[in-house]
Chain A
């Protein structure tokens, strides 16, 4: 009998232990806002500039708003499609998820924006349903609206930044190679690819490298293509991509670059003060998000930017209200404050730590024309003035939903070719094989003559 009692007790305590885990997780019924992104860029913008922010958790995993809402950050890296895969899984179960687990807002990048703003996929709420009017969005650059507009003409995402491309160079090295560090004169010396190669040869003679790695100039070429990467089940490699391959191979064989790969350690080191690399192709976000940190305190003031040989853009981040969100009002307010409010965005640009090129046409114009704005990092240059001319001209009509995979795989496949491990045709074959793995619906790859 005693044994039975004891076993009953044990069993009941075990069951109680299991059940106690199922209690309501949210004690006070406060709202939870889930935001998904792939790095901490937007997170820090949000924490610094969203007026409703009350406190930020020590590990930055959550932010508490003034009305008690907890903002939960979910960050997955972009590389190897990890972010998109995780996001796709979560969006698939969005309808069945409990209110606190539903994604309220997620971020997308230019390379795969089309996949998420597609009207058939219907994972992004049209901004008109979120509550943003055309009036609210009027001051944004047109291209940032076009790319996220679906086939029915509904805009489904909004961005706080415009991302015109630039060439950032070391002033000290420019002086040694060209005899000047004035942005206008450097731009004149680099205004087309032929001149660019000439300068690269000169730099090599003086012991410098023109570029750091293979992929540095990729975006300049890939943005100036005639047709999008994919059409139906066919991937077409543009002539200009082949130009990139040709140029990079020539640069590598002549010793004009340092054989690094974008984002790797050696590439980061090449931006340091001891490095011998002339410059880097970047976009406006690259200055604050990457370059400032990589250059370090000693590199401050030793950099300047110019437009480079060809106009281009690179990246850019858009905010999307996830369909099925239970916090539309908060999402709307975040979008409105951070992407439609001129003063907040201007502040981001004026902050010497950030200097982002923000998505307000009139605001950028004001800064461009003001004599007082000088970037300390860029040695007193007003870079906003430089971009306010090119930003309105950005054309994103050649994007396709397959861009991320195509860009990543062609860089990977031809790295072997640049390294001298494989011949040209093998590199082509490797690209074909890997692109069909990423996108099973791609059946054919067409190369230019």
Chain B
């Protein structure tokens, strides 16, 4: 009797494990092993000279030492600057568009159409987009011909020969490519706010501006934070746009050379040791940023109301005590 009942009890849990097994197997082979290898090679001298392979010879932390004698801080600041000049306009425009599109009183027509249009640049491959800009803004490109033909400037503006021009173009491209998807994410966040709050605010005579700053903005703070961190991680890995625009050289004066472009220049000479060391550094920075995202996503105080309440309580206590 006993034996029969235990036979009848089917263990469904094992199927769950079996079905997720393929992911873990492929992750282990294609992601985990290379990851460990990268860390291992960062302690080795390992590159190609011509067709000859040098190494791998164990050299301890020599690669790291050499890495920090190069212009690494400059490339890090380049990456940050290129990211910020794309991110600031992106978040401002996205907020504005999200507020307009979700405003029930404005009744914007063709919302769906605009949503598709602003998202479209993201569908183009970054490399193709960059190539397009390179051609458009080249010294003899259509933008310059237009400016010269209409007498707006005397000679062609050499965008790619100036620091501001190159960085500006990269920022513009990143902005154009990403403001659509940020808008859509922020719209979802705004639509998640209880509409009765807006109604109540309107009945109390709030202006548009007040509603935006006092209700919308505080309530979408967690999503804004998420956007900031994910964009930062994406920015850290910025590569294809400046790579194609400057032909991999990060011109002028290496001011548009990002960290990943620097990594790529080591990889194209098959210098696995240095590339490994650089990758490990980038891994650590990304891991720290990811930790913040994780904390944020898993916190049960998404809108910060609990923390605010605690703070108020503490202040009240402090006031009492004094």
**Chain A residues close to B by CB (< 8 Å):** 79-81, 85, 88, 91, 115-116, 118, 120-121, 123, 259-260, 264-266, 269, 401, 412, 415-416, 419, 421-422, 426, 430, 433-434, 437-441
Measured between beta carbons, the chain A residues less than 8 angstroms from B140 are 265-266, 269
Selected from A80, A118, A264, the residue in CB contact (under 8 A) with B50 is A118
Q: Smallest CB–CB gap between B269 and chain A, Å?
A: 5
Q: Smallest CB–CB gap between B70 and chain A, Å?
A: 7
Measured between beta carbons, the chain B residues less than 8 angstroms from A416 are 251-253
> Are the CB atoms of B268 and A80 closer together than 8 Å?
yes
Q: Smallest CB–CB gap between B251 and chain A, Å?
A: 7
> Are the CB atoms of A266 and B138 closer together than 8 Å?
yes
> Are the CB atoms of A421 and B271 closer together than 8 Å?
no
Q: Does B48 contact A (CB under 8 A)?
A: yes
Closest 4 CB pairs of A and B: A121-B51, A266-B140, A440-B47, A421-B252
A437, B257: Cα distance in complex, Å: 13
> Are the CB atoms of B138 and A440 closer together than 8 Å?
no
Spot the interface stretch: B115-123, B156-164, B223-231.
B156-164
> Are the CB atoms of B268 and A85 closer together than 8 Å?
yes
Measured between beta carbons, the chain B residues less than 8 angstroms from A260 are 139
Q: Smallest CB–CB gap between B277 and chain A, Å?
A: 12
Knowing A80-B248, A85-B268, A412-B249, the reply to whether A419 touches B161 (Cβ < 8 A) is yes
A260, B141: Cα distance in complex, Å: 13
A-B contact pairs, 18 of them (CB 8 A): A79-B247, A85-B270, A259-B161, A265-B138, A265-B141, A266-B138, A266-B139, A266-B140, A415-B252, A416-B252, A421-B161, A421-B163, A421-B252, A438-B265, A438-B268, A440-B266, A440-B269, A441-B54
Measured between beta carbons, the chain B residues less than 8 angstroms from A422 are 252-253
Q: With A265-B140, A422-B252, A430-B254 given, can you name 18 additional A-B contacts, CB distance below 8 Å? A: A115-B51, A120-B52, A121-B51, A259-B158, A269-B140, A412-B249, A412-B251, A416-B252, A419-B252, A421-B252, A430-B253, A433-B71, A434-B265, A437-B265, A437-B269, A438-B265, A438-B268, A440-B269
Chain B 262-290, CB-CB to A under 8 Å as 1, else 0, gives 10011011110010000000000000000
> Are the CB atoms of B268 and A264 closer together than 8 Å?
no
Q: Smallest CB–CB gap between B28 and chain A, Å?
A: 22
Question: How many residues does chain B have at the interface if contact means C-beta atoms less than 8 Å apart?
Answer: 33
Measured between beta carbons, the chain B residues less than 8 angstroms from A79 are 247
Residue of A nearest to B70 (CB): A433
Measured between beta carbons, the chain B residues less than 8 angstroms from A265 are 135, 138-141
Residue of B nearest to A402 (CB): B50
A79, B244: Cα distance in complex, Å: 12
Selected from A116, A415, A437, A440, the residue in CB contact (under 8 A) with B51 is A116
> Are the CB atoms of B52 and A440 closer together than 8 Å?
no
Measured between beta carbons, the chain A residues less than 8 angstroms from B162 are 421
Measured between beta carbons, the chain B residues less than 8 angstroms from A259 are 139, 158, 161
> Are the CB atoms of A264 and B252 closer together than 8 Å?
no
Measured between beta carbons, the chain A residues less than 8 angstroms from B141 are 265
Q: Smallest CB–CB gap between A82 and chain B, Å?
A: 8
Residue of A nearest to B53 (CB): A92
Q: Tell me the B88-142 residues at the A interface (CB within 8 Å).
A: 135, 138-141
Residue of B nearest to A421 (CB): B252
Say what secondary structure dominates the interface of chain A.
helix
User: Which of B49, B50, B161, B271 is the most central at the interface, judged by chain A CB atoms within 10 Å of its CB?
Assistant: B50
Knowing A439-B269, A440-B49, the reply to whether A421 touches B135 (Cβ < 8 A) is no
Q: Smallest CB–CB gap between B138 and chain A, Å?
A: 5
Measured between beta carbons, the chain B residues less than 8 angstroms from A121 are 50-52
> Are the CB atoms of A419 and B268 closer together than 8 Å?
no
Selected from A430, A433, A441, the residue in CB contact (under 8 A) with B47 is A441
A266, B148: Cα distance in complex, Å: 15
> Are the CB atoms of A88 and B51 closer together than 8 Å?
yes
Measured between beta carbons, the chain A residues less than 8 angstroms from B274 are 440
Measured between beta carbons, the chain A residues less than 8 angstroms from B71 are 433
Q: Smallest CB–CB gap between B45 and chain A, Å?
A: 9
Q: Smallest CB–CB gap between A395 and chain B, Å?
A: 23
> Are the CB atoms of B51 and A441 closer together than 8 Å?
no
User: Which of B47, B51, B163, B262 is the most central at the interface, judged by chain A CB atoms within 10 Å of its CB?
Assistant: B51
Residue of B nearest to A233 (CB): B49
Measured between beta carbons, the chain B residues less than 8 angstroms from A401 are 50
> Are the CB atoms of B265 and A439 closer together than 8 Å?
no
> Are the CB atoms of B253 and A115 closer together than 8 Å?
no
A107, B283: Cα distance in complex, Å: 40
Q: Smallest CB–CB gap between A399 and chain B, Å?
A: 13
Residue of A nearest to B266 (CB): A437
> Are the CB atoms of A415 and B268 closer together than 8 Å?
no
Q: Smallest CB–CB gap between A324 and chain B, Å?
A: 14
Q: Smallest CB–CB gap between B96 and chain A, Å?
A: 35
Q: Smallest CB–CB gap between B77 and chain A, Å?
A: 16
> Are the CB atoms of A440 and B271 closer together than 8 Å?
yes
Q: Smallest CB–CB gap between A174 and chain B, Å?
A: 24
A88, B50: Cα distance in complex, Å: 9
Residue of A nearest to B274 (CB): A440
